[in-house]
Amino acid sequence: MRGYDVVIIGAGIIGLMAARALRAAGRTVALLERSEVGKEASWASAGVLMSRPYAYESISDFALRVEGSEMLLALAPALAAETGIDIEAVRHPALHLAFTADGEANMRALQPQLEGAELGCEFISPADVQERQPEITAPVTLGMVTSCANIENRRLLRALEIGARNAGVEIFTGCDVQTLQVTGGRVTGVHTATQEFNADAVVNATGSWGGTLRGAPERMPVLPERGQMLALWTESVALTHLINLPQYIIIPRKSGRVLLGATSERAGYDRRNTAGGVQGMLHAAIQAIPKLADAAIEELWTGFRPANPDGFPLVGRSAIEGYYYAVGHYKLGIQQAPITAEVISDLITSGGTARSVAHWDPTRFGTAET
Ligand X SMILES: Cc1cc2nc3c(=O)[nH]c(=O)nc-3n(C[C@H](O)[C@H](O)[C@H](O)COP(=O)(O)OP(=O)(O)OC[C@H]3O[C@@H](n4cnc5c(N)ncnc54)[C@H](O)[C@@H]3O)c2cc1C
Q: Which is nearer to ligand X, 144 or 339 (CB)?
A: 339
Q: Which is nearer to ligand X, 44 or 243 (CB)?
A: 44
Q: Which is nearer to ligand X, 11 or 124 (CB)?
A: 11
Residue 249: its H or E element: strand 249-252
Taking the C-alpha atoms of residue 338 and residue 317, their distance in angstroms, rounded to an integer, is 18
List of residues contacting ligand X (CB under 6 A): 9-15, 32-35, 40-42, 44-48, 175-177, 205-209, 227, 229, 261-262, 303-306, 327, 329-335
Q: Which is nearer to ligand X, 130 or 274 (CB)?
A: 274
Residue pair 4/197 in contact (Cβ under 8 Å)? The answer is yes
Report the nearest approach of ligand X to the CB of residue 210 (Å): 8
Q: Which is nearer to ligand X, 50 or 124 (CB)?
A: 50
Report the nearest approach of ligand X to the CB of residue 261 (Å): 5
Q: Which is nearer to ligand X, 11 or 98 (CB)?
A: 11
Q: 213: Cβ–Cβ under 8 A, 6 or more apart, which residues?
A: 9, 177, 178, 179, 180, 204, 206
Report the nearest approach of ligand X to the CB of residue 130 (Å): 26
Report the nearest approach of ligand X to the CB of residue 233 (Å): 19
Report the nearest approach of ligand X to the CB of residue 142 (Å): 23
Q: 179: Cβ–Cβ under 8 A, 6 or more apart, which residues?
A: 190, 191, 213, 214, 215
Q: 279: Cβ–Cβ under 8 A, 6 or more apart, which residues?
A: none
Residue pair 41/304 in contact (Cβ under 8 Å)? The answer is yes
Number of H helices, E strands in the chain: 9, 17
Report the nearest approach of ligand X to the CB of residue 309 (Å): 15
